[in-house]
């Protein structure tokens, strides 16, 4: 039982002075006194009064008792006296499990989420009708679904529409959100002592949590309403395929399989690509154990790689997963040169580049006079150069490389002396890539949706080709036109949640993060690592000059740990009579009025007259 409108201290602070005043009044001598008046004409005749005597005892104790009871009942009505959850107030937080563990099916075919919704509705019905209740979603990123409200229809609709997600449960964060919400709702300091008016935090779920999310401390008045224990499950935890740029036709594939059951099981995984069965693997897994199966496939074409498990378990959503593998990159290049053999070392270093005479996506003009549409110019003749050549110099020394441009990425050597070079006169919008003491010898141009690189020196010059500078400069040029030819490709299926991806030392402008759905996710850098969070299934693509990562967050992540419930936590759905708070104040107010009326009739009725006084005297 408890007082909702007043604290016990406030109640006593009002009751005690009122009671003391009433008692003092009843100690007052209320006997009749003799008064002389000028006429008895207007005074009624009464019997002779009793002899006045001074007394030190309570006058009319039964009247005093009725007055005190009436005052007590009126004050209890003002304080809104309730009988029920001790001093539990009208604020309660329902923390409903929305993690992937609620996707488990029972033997009857119902999901754990169905049971949790039903339990939440029963618990809601057991709460006092006027008490505000908040509904909180518990998963990897807990959130408030419905703020504190006494609107039961709104709360019921939110619970009935509540669905399980695909992330693991962070129970510590969910319970902390419930505790904080209760403290803020009643206006109490979050880090202060437990207020007398704090209500229950009821967690409804399976108790399957993400490892490491065990609550360090529990909120006050915590209740755990458990659903049916999850059944046995065998599932795919991670499915990944990676391809290196030096072997564009070879995929390294791995499948991580989990036996989330109480018995050791042989698990068979089958793999298909583009509708064709590649093979199957069988592994023997101990209870609650996992294993990684590795294999390779060779293909240069695009297709769907599928992995599936032969299992009929409680969670079928993780028994099959598919990855869309992109085709191997192919850059058809037209090489206009009189020395094709000399270029073989540079061209052959990248298997994605093929030499063609027609349908080329990239044209390289090496000292060629028939290269009007070329994108890469190597030591062009003055008559054919797209950039004006000022003069020809011998033995120029490179003094600077353009910082931050993709073509000069990683190039900083300034002790290279070329055999000869042409000094160029770049246009206003051109970017100078390489400079010597005599002037610029390489520029990059972007215009009309077309890119061009003009080198005023021979890329095969022994001074450059014999060092790392020459091959790296050529690789950067190709990467600027076709970055996919130098990118590693990683395709992965995993559960939603926190993504931590190594990206190297590239600048933010060289990192592209997008989602095919059209909404670019929020991400941040932590050193050489990219971090982002996604709570729902979807595809994330992260690209850098050397990496193309496609993460399909489409696998459910039921928690691998089980919450060890403390003994002090309340369990189960309580009886509605035990937690309901009966409303008494209207009846208390009516009873107080009735007691005052009885007191008036018995002890204060003016029609009850005594015998008439003697002539010439009046009683007062």
Tell me what pLDDT residue 583 has.
63
- Can you tell me the distance from the alpha carbon of 414 to that of 400, in angstroms, rounded to the nearest whole number? 6
Alpha-helical segments (H) within 36-137: 61-78, 112-126
Tell me what pLDDT residue 610 has.
43
| CA 258 to chain centroid | 25
- Band of pLDDT at residue 51, cut at 50, 70 and 90: low
Q: Which residue has the higher pLDDT, 48 or 100?
A: 100
Tell me what pLDDT residue 86 has.
46
Region 91-116 average pLDDT: 89
222-226 and 201-205 beta bridge pairing: parallel
Residue 328 · residue 315 · CB < 8 Å: no
Tell me what pLDDT residue 111 has.
87
Give the sheet arrangement for strand 276-285, strand by strand: 276-285, 265-273, 303-309, 320-325
Region 135-151 average pLDDT: 94
Report pLDDT digits (tens) over 296-341.
999 999 999 999 998 888 888 899 999 999 999 989 999 998 888 8
Report pLDDT digits (tens) over 57-80.
666 778 878 788 888 888 887 876
- Band of pLDDT at residue 187, cut at 50, 70 and 90: confident
| Structure tokens that stand for 104 in this block | 């488990």
Tell me what pLDDT residue 619 has.
41
Own/partner long-range contacts of 345-348 (Cβ < 8 Å, ≥24 apart): 346/459, 346/470, 346/471, 346/474
Burial 94-109 (b: 16+ CB within 10 A, else e): bbbbbbbbbbbbbeee
| Structure tokens that stand for 160 in this block | 């009935």
- Band of pLDDT at residue 614, cut at 50, 70 and 90: very low
- Can you tell me the distance from the alpha carbon of 498 to that of 443, in angstroms, rounded to the nearest whole number? 42
Report pLDDT digits (tens) over 339-375.
888 888 888 888 889 898 888 999 999 987 666 788 9
> Euclidean distance between the first and final Cα of the chain, in Å?
48
- Band of pLDDT at residue 3, cut at 50, 70 and 90: low
Region 164-186 average pLDDT: 92
Which of 394-398, 528-532, 581-585 is predicted least confidently?
Answer: 581-585
Does the pLDDT of residue 96 top 90, yes or no? Answer: yes
Q: Which residues contact 527 (CB under 8 A, 6 or more apart)?
A: none
- Can you tell me the distance from the alpha carbon of 571 to that of 577, in angstroms, rounded to the nearest whole number? 16
- Band of pLDDT at residue 518, cut at 50, 70 and 90: low
Residue 445 · residue 407 · CB < 8 Å: no
- Can you tell me the distance from the alpha carbon of 295 to that of 384, in angstroms, rounded to the nearest whole number? 52
Which DSSP state fits 517?
A: T
Does the pLDDT of residue 212 top 50, yes or no? Answer: yes
Region 504-527 average pLDDT: 82
Tell me what pLDDT residue 270 has.
93
Query: Does an H or E element contain 152, and which?
Result: helix 152-160
Residue 592 · residue 74 · CB < 8 Å: yes
Tell me what pLDDT residue 382 has.
86
- Can you tell me the distance from the alpha carbon of 89 to that of 188, in angstroms, rounded to the nearest whole number? 13
Nearest to 445 by CA among 375, 373, 365: 375
Region 588-597 average pLDDT: 84
Please report the DSSP string for 43-72 in residue order: S--BPPPPPP----S-SSHHHHHHHHHHHH
Domains observed in the chain: 2-84+584-619 (no CATH), 92-230+560-580 (3.40.50.410), 232-329 (2.60.40.10), 331-485 (3.40.50.880)
Region 247-266 average pLDDT: 92
Tell me what pLDDT residue 433 has.
95
Please report the DSSP string for 584-595 in residue order: -HHHHHHHHHHH
């Amino acid at each position: 039982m408890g007082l909702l409108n007043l604290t016990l201290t406030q109640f006593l602070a009002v009751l005690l002075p009122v009671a003391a005043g009433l008692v003092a009044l009843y100690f007052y001598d209320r006997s009749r006194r003799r008064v002389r008046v000028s006429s008895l004409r207007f005074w009624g005749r009464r019997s002779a009064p009793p002899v006045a005597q001074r007394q030190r005892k309570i006058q009319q104790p039964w009247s005093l008792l009725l007055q005190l009871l009436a005052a007590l009942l009126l004050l209890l009505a003002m304080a809104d006296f309730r009988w029920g959850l001790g001093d539990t107030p009208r604020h309660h937080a329902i923390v409903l499990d929305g993690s992937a563990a609620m996707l488990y099916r029972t033997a009857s075919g119902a999901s754990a989420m169905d049971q949790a919704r039903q339990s939440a509705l029963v618990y809601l019905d057991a709460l006092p009708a006027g008490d505000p209740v908040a509904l909180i979603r518990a998963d990897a990123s807990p959130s408030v679904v419905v703020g504190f409200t006494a609107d039961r229809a709104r709360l019921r609709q939110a619970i009935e529409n509540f669905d399980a997600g695909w992330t693991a449960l962070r129970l510590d964060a969910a319970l902390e959100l419930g505790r904080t919400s209760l403290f803020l709702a009643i206006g109490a300091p979050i880090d202060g002592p437990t207020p007398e008016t704090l209500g229950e935090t009821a967690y409804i779920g399976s108790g399957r949590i993400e490892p490491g999310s065990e609550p360090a401390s529990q909120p006050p008045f915590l209740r755990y309403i458990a659903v049916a224990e999850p059944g046995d499950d065998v599932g795919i935890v991670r499915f990944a395929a990676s391809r290196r740029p030096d072997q564009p036709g070879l995929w390294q594939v791995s499948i991580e399989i989990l036996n989330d059951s109480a018995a050791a099981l042989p698990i068979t995984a089958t793999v298909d690509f583009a509708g064709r069965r590649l093979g199957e693997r069988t592994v023997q897994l101990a209870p609650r154990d996992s294993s990684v199966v590795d294999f390779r496939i060779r293909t240069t074409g695009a297709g769907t790689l599928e992995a599936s498990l032969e299992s009929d378990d409680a969670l079928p959503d993780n028994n099959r997963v598919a990855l869309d593998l992109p085709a191997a990159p192919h850059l058809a290049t037209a090489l206009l040169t009189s020395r094709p053999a000399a270029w073989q070392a540079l061209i052959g270093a990248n298997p994605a580049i093929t030499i063609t005479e027609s349908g080329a996506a990239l044209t390289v003009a090496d000292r060629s006079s028939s290269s009007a549409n070329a994108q890469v110019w190597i030591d062009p003749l003055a008559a054919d150069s797209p950039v004006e050549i000022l003069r020809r110099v011998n033995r120029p020394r490179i003094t600077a490389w353009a910082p931050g441009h993709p073509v000069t990425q990683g190039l900083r050597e300034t002790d290279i002396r070329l055999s000869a070079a042409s000094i160029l006169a770049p246009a206003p919008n051109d970017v100078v890539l390489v400079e010597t003491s005599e002037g610029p010898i390489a520029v990059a141009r972007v215009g009309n949706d077309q890119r061009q690189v003009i080198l005023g020196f021979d890329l095969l010059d022994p001074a450059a080709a014999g060092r790392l500078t020459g091959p790296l400069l050529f690789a950067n040029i190709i990467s600027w036109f076709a970055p996919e030819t130098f990118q590693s490709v990683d395709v992965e299926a995993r559960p939603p949640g926190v993504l931590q991806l190594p990206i190297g030392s590239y600048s933010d402008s060289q990192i592209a993060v997008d989602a095919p759905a059209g909404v670019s996710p929020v991400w941040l850098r932590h050193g050489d690592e990219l971090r982002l969070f996604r709570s729902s299934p979807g595809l994330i693509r992260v690209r850098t000059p050397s990496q193309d990562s496609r993460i399909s967050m489409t696998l459910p992540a039921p928690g691998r740990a089980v919450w060890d419930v403390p003994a002090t936590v309340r369990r189960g759905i309580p009886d509605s009579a035990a937690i309901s708070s009966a409303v008494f104040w209207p009846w208390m107010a009516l009873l107080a009025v009735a007691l005052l009326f009885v007191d008036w009739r018995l002890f204060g009725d003016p029609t009850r007259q005594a015998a008439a006084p003697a002539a010439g005297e009046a009683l007062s």
